[in-house]
Structure 1
Amino acid sequence: MGLYLDENVVSNINILNSIVRRDLTDYENNQLFSKKIMDSEEDFLNTAVLTAWMTFYSHFTNERKFLDDNTQFNQESISDYVKFNADMYAKDKIQFLSDLIRVLYELHFWTGKLRGEGIVSDEFLTLLENRYENLEDKTTQFKYIRENLAVALVQWLLKSQNFSEAKGLIKNIQEKKESFIEEVTTLKVENLNEIDLKETEAIKNINDNFSSIKNEIRINKESVDASLKNIAESLIEIKELEGRVQDLKSEYNFVGLSSGFNKIKEKKELELRNIEVNYKNLFGCIFIVPVIITVLHLVTPAVFPKDLTVLFLALPFLTIEMALIYFFRLSYLEAKSIRTQLVQIDLRLSLCSFIDGYVEYRKKNNVNIDKVLEIFDSLIFSPIQTNENNIPSMFDGIEAIAGLAEKITKK
């Protein structure tokens, strides 16, 4: 287990962090190379210590295993000086700063990854050397770190067991590589011979089968041509059938609804024929009665009396004539109403055969059909107008005759 993974060392470093932060909290925002800091010895040292410590503790907190793996040289060389604790900090800040920067320099040397690289730069190390290297009773290493630590790290790496194992591995890989190349060369020759043999056999098989395949392709082509001809003929027949189906679709569209309207139409046409016969007969009676009376008067004038008794003879004929005129009017209006109904029925029959094609047309042109169907429903299923309110009832005619008789009696 590495030095910085040991529980005691971890505990001491965390305690030391609390002390450093407490003592040097006023220097957190200071810049190392500012003129104010450079002029004050105390401010410069405290700022340098705090900056180096914050850089170390950041790696210690966030990537401890990474820090431990890349500071093995200092852990082996000066293990007692890099187990940072409160006593080391309190005893000598300059020595503490020297050991701290040595650890950070090694981390940066191996990985190139350091939070705040300025703390191990040659400029800063030279500045520290000029200030603290020649002080009495101080064993600082700022010059050694700048000039010799990199060489020491490389020498340590070259002498390490891991490097020896790496060299052995490279040598072993080289030997395996030569052996592998030799095996590959042998296999290549064998495989090339086998490939040539198989290629010759494949070419022979292809030549043997080429004629057979060519004949088979020709036969299949003839079969496909015949099939395409049949398909083309079938397409023509299908198009003709499609046209017939469209005609039948238009003819039998809404066949149930059309059948109902046709029955109503036949019934109304029969009624119209009967009514036309009736009102024609009534018209004949209305017309022939005055003609007969006129002819009798001209041929035999003695038949009609010359006094007021003629009124009693004329009154029945007049009454019958008025009744015939009334019923003639009723028949005529009823015939007119039926003709109106037949026109409406013919309109509905036409719509039944037309609406389906019209809806399809609007769908193809992306036009909304909801309103069309709504109007179609309202028209098809609306009641057929008969104009019955305009036809006078039988009792209305009786009342008119009674009123006329009452006026004649009073006179």
Structure 2
Amino acid sequence: MFFEAENNLKVLEGILNKYWGADERCKFKIDFGISDDNFILFIDSLSIIREIYNHPKTWDSLSLLQAQNSTELLGMCKYFNDLEGSTERGLQNPIETMYLYSLRLFYEVDFRINDEPAHSTLFNEHLLDQIKTNIANNSKNESYSSNFRKKLNKIIFSVPYDILKDLYNSEEIKLFSEFDEKKKAASQTLEEIKEYSDNLNEQISKLDKKLEIRQTKVERLEDTLKNQQSHLNFAGLSEGFHNLLKQKEKEAYSLFVGLIVMGLVMIAPLICTIFSLLPETILQEKNALNHMLKLVPFISLEVILIYFFRVILQNYKSVKAQILQIELRRTLCQFIESYTDYSKDVKGDKESNPLEKFENLIFSGIISDAENLPSTFDGMDQIGKLLSSLKSK
């Protein structure tokens, strides 16, 4: 701010200290031969300067258009501060110049003053009226030059005009002057916003419908996937049983081949006996006991073959029983889901776990019937008993 600057305040303080007192004024008037009319101008200038010095911030805020005049006024204050020892007489031109500069500031500040608390103590009412009265009188006083009176009248009428012009061209006034245009633009904008909002709501409604349709499709796909998952789970279980079934079928086939081979081996001694294919030492033996003793190895071999044939046969039957159980489980996996739904429809909620029996069967162990399977030592006991009976004879 201009007047608030410390250096500028010192200039204002200097001229007031030098000329504000009554004695200092009289001495200044006498020393420089100041006329009464010019002395009135000087006193009014000092009164305005004193108000500026007392309220520099307010004057800075209100004298918006007179920045140049503020600088010029400060220059004139420096001029009068440096008059010590000057021989100049009258000082009409400097006094008139300082008066005009201070008057421009005065008129703008007076025009902008309002009822705000900060402006209430800006001017003394008596002083304000006195300055305005002197301005009116000075504008008509013919003792002043016509040029000075012309400049004075210009200030009186031009300063308010300049302020109003500045206000009219300001953004605040433009806002009011363009109110209808702004209102029309705002109304048009609101209509466009409303239209856009309607279009947006329509688009949102369409999207909601599409989302509902797609949500329905997604829910159907979800149900389908759940069903597929269930089917796949049972398919996996069925696949497991299928692989086990293949393994057992291979095992059954191997046992079947073993049975055929063992059967052929079992009847080989008999065929040899029937067709006289035994060794000559056995066939030429005339003693029956010796003949039987020589046939003991063949008989023992036959007994052992019969025993192992029985073992293979028992294993074959066991594997066939296991195959039957595995096939039963595979069959159950194919319709168990339908059975569950049917059980719920028929029995309702009475049956808490309709899959309990299914689980007990599916996940139970595969039973192999080995009750009649003879042990190896039992077979050896039978052979021992046979040999003991032959020796006793």
Q: How would you bin the TM-score normalised by the shorter chain?
A: 0.3 to 0.5
TM-score, L = length of structure 1: 0.38
Look at both structures and tell me which one has the larger radius of gyration over its CA atoms.
2
TM-score, L = length of structure 2: 0.40
